[in-house]
């Protein structure tokens, strides 16, 4: 699955959000079924930690698989929001409104 790699080429924060830019792995890419599962799960933004839990795979393995997909242009990684962004009044109001709508 990781072809002997123990670390991804780039550092990936566990709270970073992953988003698929395509819904299938490229033909002939040599990707594993787990790569396809990541693409499917990341059709909506999902954190690396959530993804590892969802796939029941070790975090390190998921980071390596995501790194493969980033290199192939299949997913994008968005850094987690900063504390300042999370404390934005408008954002907090939107979250509260969303929770009330549930």
Domain, as residue range, for 63: 17-101
Please indicate, yes or no, if residue 55 is contained in any of the structural domains: yes
Instruction: Decide if 25 is inside a domain.
Output: yes
- The strand ranges marked E within the chain are 17-20, 46-47, 75-78
CATH at 21: 1.10.10
Q: What is the separation, in whole angstroms, between the first and last Cα of the chain?
A: 40
Rounded percentage of the chain residues whose pLDDT exceeds 90: 40
What pLDDT is stored for residue 79 in this prediction?
Answer: 85
Q: Give the other-Cβ count within 10 Å of 34's Cβ.
A: 16
Provide the number of structural domains found in the chain: 1
Return the exposure string of 65-84: e unless at least 16 CB atoms fall within 10 Å of the residue's CB, then b. Answer: bbbbbbeeebbebeeeeeee
Whether 3 is in a domain gets the answer no
Kindly report, residue by residue over 43-60, the tens digit of the pLDDT.
999 999 999 999 999 998
> What pTM value is reported for the model?
0.70
């Amino acid at each position: 699955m990781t072809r002997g790699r123990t670390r991804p080429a780039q550092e990936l924060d566990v709270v970073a959000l992953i988003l698929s830019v395509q819904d299938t792995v490229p033909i002939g890419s040599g990707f594993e079924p787990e790569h396809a599962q990541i693409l499917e799960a990341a059709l909506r933004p999902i954190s690396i930690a959530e993804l590892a839990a969802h796939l029941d795979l070790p975090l390190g393995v998921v980071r390596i698989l995501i790194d493969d997909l980033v290199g192939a242009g299949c997913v994008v990684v968005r850094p987690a929001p900063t504390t300042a962004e999370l404390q934005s009044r408008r954002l907090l109001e939107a979250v509260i409104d969303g929770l009330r709508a549930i």
